[in-house]
Amino acid sequence: MKIISIGEVLWDVVGGAEHLGGAPFNFAAHVAALGHNVLFISAVGADERGQQVLERMSEMSLSSRYVRHLKRYPTGVATVTLDGQGQPQFVIHRPAAYDFPELTDPEWKELVSCSPEWVYFGTLLQMSPQARQLTSKILDVAPQARRFYDVNLRVNCYQASLVRDLMSQASVVKLNEHEVAEIARLLGGEASSLEEFCRSYSQRFGWEAVCVTCGADGCELLIGDEYVTAKGYPVEVVDTVGAGDAFAAAFVHGFAAGWPASEIADFANRVGAIVASRPGAIPKWSLEEVRCLQRQIQVREQK
């Protein structure tokens, strides 16, 4: 598939280490690892971190054609602290280069002609008026594409009106169980269960599917009228940054292939678990490792 991902690329600073990240970039890297053609749209600064971004993209065979180089803004940085369960807390430093993506006329023609099947976007980038305008134009020129909205709420980086607007433009929405409560608070319609939330909000906004990640407990999905709950895979958690983005990539992969909902959920849980068991948001992983994890659990349960 051809997939457009627009959003932040930044460095997650965890303790004394820096890891390449940003949810849309992580998604792009993981969905490319699944064999898809990704057009990643963002911007970096004319600094050492920006150069490192471009070098890493080259190493991952991820095109940087639509990544602008800006002198007036630095490459994005987020300070990350992990709690006792390995869950990340972010401090986003802005403005950053990724807040100001832009495309030339020839690049616009390329995007239109490639007929993307999916457009991925999140909340954080859309706080930038320039980025919001660019995203809206992309959605306008690619009406055939499904729209994947990965909610990813960050402190001081969202507004109720923006979230409502993005949800209204989405075909598929992904969020975590904590964001469910926050969305209900922001937009109303509190639900007594995750299933009730998924069904009521899907009907309200006309989504094809919605998925709620529940950390180590797995996930819950609604695809059409089918609702499934899939338990997580027990792994030794090292770093959950990027696990949700890997889950999103795996979900898109399975959903586009027409897999059953239960199969999509299980596959996405396994990919997310593999990533959570390793440091950094985009560690190397393989489909064979994902298959092995499933076999290991099956053997363990049979004993």
Q: How do residues 104-133 score in pLDDT, each as one tens digit?
A: 999 999 988 999 999 999 999 999 999 999
pLDDT averaged over every residue in the chain: 92
Q: Is the pLDDT of residue 299 over 60?
A: no
Q: What total number of domains does the chain contain? A: 1
SS3 58: helix
Query: CA 269 to CA 60: how far, in whole Å?
Result: 23
Confidence category of residue 87, pLDDT binned at 50, 70, 90 = low
pLDDT tens, position by position, 243-291: 999 999 999 999 999 999 999 999 999 999 999 999 888 999 999 999 9
* Cα 273 to the center of its chain, rounded Å: 15
β-sheet bridge partners, residue 121: 149
Please state, for a pLDDT cut of 90, what percent of the chain lies above it. 78
Query: Edge-to-edge, what's the strand order for the sheet holding 88-93?
Result: 17-21, 10-14, 76-82, 88-93
For residue 58, give the CATH number of its domain. Answer: 3.40.1190.20
Note whether 268 and 251 are within 8 A (CB): yes
pLDDT tens, position by position, 151-206: 999 988 999 999 999 999 999 999 999 999 999 999 987 678 999 999 999 999 99
The least confident of 7-16, 30-39, 264-273 is 7-16
Confidence category of residue 20, pLDDT binned at 50, 70, 90 = very high
Query: CA 32 to CA 3: how far, in whole Å?
Result: 9
Confidence category of residue 240, pLDDT binned at 50, 70, 90 = confident
Domain residues for the domain of 151 are 2-302
SS3 213: strand
Note whether 73 and 94 are within 8 A (CB): no
pLDDT at position 144 is 94
CB atoms within 10 A of CB 183: 24
Q: Is the pLDDT of residue 303 over 60?
A: no
Q: Distance between the two ends of the chain, CA-based, in angstroms?
A: 40
Query: CA 203 to CA 199: how far, in whole Å?
Result: 6
Burial grade of 248 (CB within 10 A; 0-12, 13-18, 19 or more) = buried
Query: CA 10 to CA 50: how far, in whole Å?
Result: 9
Q: Is the pLDDT of residue 238 over 90?
A: no
Structure tokens at 275: 């990533």
Please state, for a pLDDT cut of 70, what percent of the chain lies above it. 96
> CA angle 28-51-71, nearest 5°?
105
Q: Is the pLDDT of residue 69 over 70?
A: yes
Q: Over range 14-27, report the average pLDDT.
A: 90
